Amino acid sequence: MSVNRKALFRYWKVSQQSRVVATLQYLVFMASLVWVVVHGANQMGYQWQWYNIPEYFYKVFEGEIYPGRLIKGLGVTVDLTLWCVGFTLLTGLITALLRMSDSISGRWLSTIYLELVRNTPLLVQLYLFYFVFSPIFGIDRFWTGVICLTFYEGSFVAEIIRSGVQSVERGQWEAGDSIGLTRWDNYRYIVIPQAIPIMLPPLTGQIINLIKHSSIVSVIAVADLTTEGRNIIADTFMSFEIWFTVAGIYLVLTLSLSMFVTWLENRTRVRT
Amino acid sequence: MTDTDKRVIRLDNVSKSFGNFQALKGVSFDINHGQKVVVCGPSGSGKSTMIRCINRLEEHDGGSITVNGVELTDDMANILAVRREVGMVFQQFNLFPHLTVLDNLTLGPMRSRGADKQQAQGTAMEYLERVRIPDQANKYPSQLSGGQQQRVAIARSLCMKPKIMLFDEPTSALDPEMIKEVLDVMIELAEEGMTMIVVTHEMGFAKTVADTMIFMDHGEIVEVAPPSEFFSSPRSERTQLFLSQILSH
Amino acid sequence: MIRKNKKPRLNWIDFAVISSVVGFLIFVVLRVDSVLNYSWNWNHVFPFVMYLDEDTGQWVSNLLLEGLIITLRLAVYGIIISAVIGVVMGLCRISSNLFLRMVARSYVELVRNTPPLVFIFIFYFFLSTQLMPLLGIDELARSDSPAVKTMIWILCGDPILFSNFVSGLICLSIFEGAYITEIVRAGIQSIPRGQWEAGRAIGLSRIDVMRYVILPQAVSKIAPPLANQFITLIKDSSIVSLISIQELTFMAVEVGVSTSRIFEVWILVAVMYFVICYSCVLFFNWLERRAARSKR
């Protein structure tokens, strides 16, 4: 027994050591990357003005705190994302149902929609919505952005829902049939409850993508986080500081969501 | 004893844990040249772990394992040296699906023994004949039956000209009608004097081939005996219980 | 899968679908014709793809076709460079060396969690001001040697735009490389453990197991998602129009502004992208079916 414990300790020590070494290497590597960027910027006479950044988060005016431009932009991004999440789920659900339905035209319509979205760039879709559809329907920028992103992400959500439903084994359907459930009852009591845990992680992943893709609306000047960043840079020329800050804000948003996904995945894996 | 030079494998107080689960709790035994050992025991008793430790597919974390006079340490050169001497046959065959049967057989000799292609193919065909499927040489593993695949796997190990062969439940994944063709090959191998360690539940095979039976339970060696003694008058209660269960069907 | 044996047929859903689609189309046509008073003029736009030169009697490519060629160049070179990045980083991702794992992981997470737009802006700014002079791309483009000039012409187009093209290409490749890293990692990890063990058991070294056993099998798992990534790359390349790389989307904006035939231009460009991407999809599907058949 004692031998074993000693060996275990040795193993632990070795792995601990190599972990420390690796972390050190990593820190040195990252530090030198940062140094390269900073050094390069200094080389071309870049003026770092990190001290100016906080005012774009919040301003204090006559004892009251007001949100700065970046926070306002973040608000628009979140607003946009939330609207999109709702519409996207709806679009995805309808498309998935049409695709799985018996209806010929329903299948056709959903297939055409999916292929159109998958085979054109998001940016071109945005231009198409902005230059073509928004004058036709008389929609403003913000809603053009919402509709375009919904149109784009809805196709992914449709596929997530479809594969979630189809991953429920055929035997489950047959068992439902054999106890005399109707088609809708089968969906409701047998299939959906089993499909939802499967669909949740990829759906959350899709929301992360939505946040990232929402930055593209800055192209049509919706005042989201990226647009605010670009405007501030146009005013102050603090390219590095602002872009790093903006990227950092996005990173915090998406990383916290993706940690949530990992947690969800682990939880569902343990349960099954 | 004068047997020291005949000893090819020595396990001394070997232990191994996976997290909190202790798979091996201080296992010791010696195996001599030409000896045929059958290891049996209930599932989870540590049989597979033990033979996987012998060619270092698992890393033991206590005690020592010596194969052919080489002690298994972290030293990669040592491990490769040992693996060249020790052949292993898996329960799931583990043939390489993207290579033909012949290529499966020649890969090892060409890469780790530095054999040239013709030489390797010659040896490969020789062993394919020994396992009685030379006509399948240019097929892919997925085109063979389970029994044929396992015979290819045995031939693949033999191509490395190992001094010791390890078998990890070689017939457990096979349909009953294919078990015999694999066991026949193994019996032949035993008759030629190969040193073998076989983890198996095939007690008929054990009776014909083994000169030593090892019974394991809960990560320990419970009983070591020649088969005649092992089957007729097992000493430990656990062995008796196990045998009564396994021989009753 | 649900009711496979049931034949699709017309029912109330079709009625709802068809009537809403028709209603939508009628509404659009009415709005365009009567409210916006838009007069379509396709003849004005097609010459921007290619036109017949009256003097020489030859077809000459114009802005949109040239843009499309740049897009395809970006996609083809991009997939090669990003595949190299992806394989190297993918191997790092599963390496036994913790340091390499950490570096690869940071790269992947950093790229995947920043919006493509923000990534391209940051990187372009950094690249064009620092890396380009370092690599001496500008000197190469300005070089007088006719051999270098023709090389650049053939591979990348106009030498004046060469450094611009290269920085756009590098941005895109580094961006897509992160996704390919994950494809490679997943492909390698999908090979069962038993294959590693069998390789080790016949005495192969770790590198040899990788080279002769794991990678050949992983390739067939990696190929389909990689093909998919190529199509994604064609689409994502439209983003570099925002950093003034003169590919299809950039040209479309130019033509749209200069002709004010905005509806026609954007519909045409969307169709061009669709045709390119969809034919790639069909081609890759055909390849995959053929590969599946030849695999017995």
pLDDT score recorded for residue C244: 84
Chain B hits for C203, CB-CB cut-off 8 Å, are: 80, 83-84, 108, 111-113, 160
Q: Which of B90, B112, B142 sits opposite C198 (nearest CB)?
A: B90
Nearest CA in chain B to C296: B143
Q: How far is CA B167 from CA A9, A106, B128, B170, B198, in A?
A: 32, 58, 18, 6, 5
Is pLDDT larger for residue A3 or for residue B171?
B171
Q: Of the candidates B185, B181, B211, which has an alpha carbon nearest to the alpha carbon of residue B197?
A: B211
Q: Where are the domains of chain A?
A: 2-46, 59-271
Residue-averaged pLDDT of chain C:
85
Task: Give the 3-state secondary structure percentages of chain C, helix then strand then coil, rounded to 5.
Answer: 80, 5, 15
* C235 interfacial to chain A (CB closer than 8 Å): yes
In contact, A115 and C285? CB cutoff 8 Å: no
Calpha distance A258→A202 (Å, rounded): 10
Q: Read off the pLDDT of residues C9-61 as tens digits, 9 standing for 90 and up.
A: 667 788 888 889 999 999 888 888 777 777 777 887 788 887 877 788 777 77
Nearest CA in chain B to A6: B62
Nearest CA in chain C to A166: C1
Is pLDDT larger for residue C63 or for residue A82?
A82
pLDDT score recorded for residue B62: 87
Question: Please, where are the H alpha helices in C48-189?
Answer: 63-93, 98-112, 116-126, 132-135, 137-142, 146-156, 162-189
* Complex ipTM value: 0.85
Is pLDDT larger for residue C110 or for residue C125?
C110
Verify whether the Cβ–Cβ distance B94 to C194 is below 8 Å: yes
Q: How many CB atoms lie within 10 A of CB A63?
A: 5
Q: Write down the residue that tokens 């160049």 correspond to.
A: C73
Assign domain C63-294 to a CATH class.
mainly alpha
* Residue B166 β-bridge partners: B88, B197
Calpha distance C127→C134 (Å, rounded): 10
pLDDT score recorded for residue C187: 93
Which residues of B have a CB under 8 Å from any CB of C? 55-57, 76, 80, 83-84, 86-88, 90, 92, 94-99, 107-108, 111-113, 140, 142-143, 153, 156-157, 159-160
pLDDT score recorded for residue A11: 54
Calpha distance B129→A86 (Å, rounded): 67
Q: Write down the residue that tokens 């798992």 correspond to.
A: C221
Q: Which residues contact C193 (CB under 8 A, 6 or more apart)?
A: none
Q: What tokens does B21 get? A: 């689960």
DSSP character at residue B196: E
* Stretch B166-188: mean pLDDT: 91
pLDDT band per the 50, 70, 90 thresholds, residue C80? very high
DSSP character at residue C7: P
Q: Which pTM was predicted?
A: 0.80
DSSP character at residue C8: P
DSSP string covering A131-158, please?
Answer: IIIHHHHT--HHHHHHHHHHHHHHHHHH
Verify whether the Cβ–Cβ distance A213 to C115 is below 8 Å: yes
pLDDT score recorded for residue A104: 86
Q: How many CB atoms lie within 10 A of CB A87?
A: 17
pLDDT score recorded for residue C4: 45
DSSP character at residue C9: B
Chain C hits for B142, CB-CB cut-off 8 Å, are: 296
What percentage of chain C carries pLDDT values higher than 70? Answer: 91
Q: How far is CA B1 from CA A245, B6, B7, B68, C176, in A?
A: 76, 10, 11, 17, 67
Q: Give residue B108's Cα distance to chain centre.
A: 17
Torsion sign, CA atoms A240, A245, A250, A254: positive
Calpha distance A267→A262 (Å, rounded): 9
Q: List all chains that touch chain B, counting a touch as 3 or more CB pairs closer than 8 Å.
A: A, C
Verify whether the Cβ–Cβ distance A214 to C115 is below 8 Å: yes
| A window 169-208, beta carbon within 8 A of C | 170, 173, 208
* Stretch C68-82: mean pLDDT: 93
Calpha distance A148→A216 (Å, rounded): 10
Q: Does the pLDDT value for residue B85 go beyond 90?
A: no
Q: What tokens does B98 get? A: 């993207």
pLDDT score recorded for residue C48: 81
CA distance A62 to chain C (A): 35
Q: Which of B94, B98, B108 sits opposite C197 (nearest CB)?
A: B94
pLDDT score recorded for residue A268: 65
* Residue B165 β-bridge partners: B87, B196
Nearest CA in chain B to A2: B62
Q: Which of C130, C253, C267 sits opposite A40 (nearest CB)?
A: C130
Amino acid at A80: L
* Residue C71 β-bridge partners: none
> Which of helix, strand or coil describes residue B59?
coil
Q: Of the candidates C185, C213, C211, which has an alpha carbon nearest to the alpha carbon of residue C199?
A: C213
In contact, B169 and B141? CB cutoff 8 Å: no
Q: What is the dihedral of CA B31, B35, B41, B46, to 10 degrees?
A: 40
Tell me the residue length of chain C. 296
Chain B hits for A13, CB-CB cut-off 8 Å, are: none
Q: Does the pLDDT value for residue B190 go beyond 60?
A: yes
pLDDT score recorded for residue B12: 92
Q: Does the pLDDT value for residue C295 go beyond 70?
A: no
Rg (alpha carbons) of chain C, rounded to whole number: 24
Q: List all chains that touch chain A, counting a touch as 3 or more CB pairs closer than 8 Å.
A: B, C
DSSP string covering chain A, please?
Answer: -HHHHHHHHHHHHHHHHHHHHHHHHHHHHHHHHHHHHHHHHHHTT----GGGSGGGTEEEETTEEEE-HHHHHHHHHHHHHHHHHHHHHHHHHHHHHHHHSSBHHHHHHHHHHHHHHHTS-HHHHHHHIIIIIHHHHT--HHHHHHHHHHHHHHHHHHHHHHHHHHTS-HHHHHHHHHTT--HHHIIIIIIHHHHHHHHHHHHHHHHHHHHHHHGGGGGGT--SHHHHHHHHHHHH--HHHHHHHHHHHHHHHHHHHHHHHHHHHHHHHHH-
Dmax over CA atoms of chain C, in Å, equals 79
Pairing state of beta strands B195-199 and B36-40? parallel
Q: Of the candidates C67, C68, C73, C49, which has an alpha carbon nearest to the alpha carbon of residue C59?
A: C49
Pairing state of beta strands B36-40 and B21-32? unpaired
pLDDT in tens for each of the 272 residues of chain A? 344 555 555 555 556 667 888 889 999 999 998 888 888 778 777 788 888 888 888 888 787 888 888 999 999 999 999 999 999 999 999 999 898 888 888 899 999 999 999 999 999 999 999 998 888 888 899 999 999 999 999 999 999 999 998 888 777 777 766 666 677 777 777 788 888 888 888 898 899 999 999 999 999 988 899 999 999 988 888 888 898 899 999 999 998 888 887 887 777 665 44
CA distance A75 to chain B (A): 47
pLDDT band per the 50, 70, 90 thresholds, residue C123? confident
* Residue C53 β-bridge partners: C58
The correct CATH number of A59-271 out of 1.10.3720.10, 3.30.160.20, 2.60.40.1180, 3.40.50.300 is 1.10.3720.10
Q: Of the candidates B227, B195, B231, which has an alpha carbon nearest to the alpha carbon of residue B54?
A: B195
CA distance B63 to chain A (A): 7
In contact, C241 and C235? CB cutoff 8 Å: no
Dmax over CA atoms of chain B, in Å, equals 55
Q: How far is CA A204 from CA A200, A262, C152, C227, in A?
A: 6, 10, 45, 25
List, as own/partner pairs, every contact residues B65-72 make where C-beta atoms lie below 8 angstroms and the sequence separation is at least 24, other chains included. B65/B9, B65/B10, B65/B11, B65/B12, B65/B14, B66/B9, B66/B10, B66/B12, B67/B8, B67/B9, B67/B164, B68/B8, B68/B9, B68/B163, B68/B164
Verify whether the Cβ–Cβ distance C203 to B88 is below 8 Å: no
* C279 interfacial to chain A (CB closer than 8 Å): no
Verify whether the Cβ–Cβ distance A251 to C125 is below 8 Å: no
pLDDT score recorded for residue B2: 45
Write b or e for each residue in B99-128: b if 16 or more Cβ atoms lie within 10 A of its Cβ, otherwise e.
bbbbbbbbbbbbbbbebeeeebbebbbebb
CA distance A210 to chain C (A): 9
In contact, C166 and C132? CB cutoff 8 Å: yes
Chain A hits for C281, CB-CB cut-off 8 Å, are: 118-119
| A window 48-87, beta carbon within 8 A of C | none
Chain B hits for A7, CB-CB cut-off 8 Å, are: 15, 61-63
Q: Does the pLDDT value for residue C145 go beyond 80?
A: no
In contact, C141 and C160? CB cutoff 8 Å: yes
Mutate to test the interface with A, among B11, B59, B61 (most CBs of A within 10 A): B61
Verify whether the Cβ–Cβ distance A3 to B15 is below 8 Å: yes
Nearest CA in chain C to B161: C202
Write b or e for each residue in B73-95: b if 16 or more Cβ atoms lie within 10 A of its Cβ, otherwise e.
eeeeeebbbbbbbbbbbbbbbbb
Is pLDDT larger for residue B144 or for residue C128?
B144
What percentage of chain B carries pLDDT values higher than 90? Answer: 48
Mutate to test the interface with A, among C37, C99, C237 (most CBs of A within 10 A): C99
Q: Which residues contact C27 (CB under 8 A, 6 or more apart)?
A: none
* Stretch B80-100: mean pLDDT: 86
Q: Of the candidates A212, A75, A145, A57, which has an alpha carbon nearest to the alpha carbon of residue C117?
A: A212
Element (H, E) at B195: strand B195-199
Counted across chains A and C, CB pairs separated by less than 8 A come out at 173
Phi-psi category of residue B219: left, alpha or beta, with phi > 0 → left and psi -120 to 50 → alpha: left
What percentage of chain B carries pLDDT values higher than 70? Answer: 97
Minimum mean pLDDT range among A116-130, B87-101, C74-88: B87-101
DSSP string covering B12-44, please?
Answer: EEEEEEETTEEEEEEEEEEEETT-EEEEE-STT
Verify whether the Cβ–Cβ distance C115 to A226 is below 8 Å: yes
Q: Where are the domains of chain C?
A: 63-294
Chain A hits for C270, CB-CB cut-off 8 Å, are: 120, 124-125, 128
* C198 interfacial to chain B (CB closer than 8 Å): yes
Chain A hits for B26, CB-CB cut-off 8 Å, are: 1, 3-4
